[in-house]
Amino acid sequence: MQQTSTEVPVTGQLVGTYRYGKGLKIFTIVFSLALLILAGLIVYFATTLPVNSSGPVTFTTPSGSTMRFNGNVSMLYYTGALLAFIAVGIAALYAWHSRYRHSSYELYEQGIAYTTKGVRTYVPFTEIEHLYLFASGQTMFSGMITNLAFRRNASEPFHRVIEPLKRFFEFQQLFRELYLDARQPAVLQTLHSGGTVTFEYADTSQVWRKRVSGNFLDIKTLPIVVSRDYLQVQGSQVSMASLRSVDTSAWSEKVVIKDASGKPVLSTVATGILNMDLFLNTLALLMETSVEQTAEHTA
């Protein structure tokens, strides 16, 4: 579980505050109550009618199926029950979806603070090991990023921020930029000192399965090992000097890394890579350095 620190963290300047709006909640409550009241009135009206006030009632639905009732009274009872069921269903759907709406956020230069049910937690960007971006809802098949999730490490659950957050896209962009600024120096220092950094990714098939199933946060990842001299993907090691291009096509959502022969070293949905921006920026810097070193040796 996330632990709330009792010490005042070095947060840097406050960049922005973000919270979920209450408009949908108010609309859901009012609409559900209106349906329940209407259902109650219909049922009450049905009780005032004689049981045998009319003969059987038959009508055809737009889909072509036929519905039969013993009379107007049974039809009214059915209508009232249907409206009540819809009202309860809408309320239940909102309650299920709103489990991610209980937090408010303060975005700082050095980290993020979120308050959930009165408990405030501050997490420095340097302690966030996994930043996960993904699409869900109506835009899931277009690949538009509508979710941002983060956690300190794999032993903790993801904290998920969803698109209904007011100014979500501003929040997402600032979070990504600040996170990259905070993490990049330590990563480069490790690499320049001869160490390796391991990134993780969910392959393309898993990304699409999760878009269909909706179980986004339960991911199984594969390693990408990055060093100053090579890139290792699924046990296959390629020298940094042999890498020639990193294609991040917005149309296909994929990131494709190719070697000098044009052979793909890695081809996967970009958002399936945890810490996607950090990985791509690190790789670009290493490839640029490798090209400069090659040019110096040639000269």
| Tens digits of residue pLDDT in 210-238 | 887 778 888 899 999 999 999 999 888 99
pLDDT at residue 67, as a whole number? 60
Q: Evaluate if residue 96 carries a pLDDT over 70.
A: no
Q: What is the 3-state secondary structure (H, E, C) of 69-121?
A: ECCHHHHHHHHHHHHHHHHHHHHHHHHHHHHHCCEEEEEECCEEEEEECCEEE
**193: nearest Cα among 227, 241, 222:** 227
| Tens digits of residue pLDDT in 37-46 | 888 888 877 7
Most confident of 46-50, 67-71, 276-280: 276-280
* 172, 199 contact by CB (below 8 A): no
Residue type, 47: T
Q: What is the pTM of this model?
A: 0.75
Number of other CB atoms surrounding residue 240 within 10 Å: 18
Q: What CATH number was assigned to the domain covering residues 128-298?
A: 2.30.29
Q: How confident is the model at residue 244 (pLDDT cuts 50, 70, 90)?
A: confident
DSSP H helical ranges for the chain = 23-47, 72-97, 168-192, 204-213, 276-298
Domain boundaries along the sequence of the chain: 23-98, 128-298
Three-class secondary structure of residue 133 per DSSP: strand
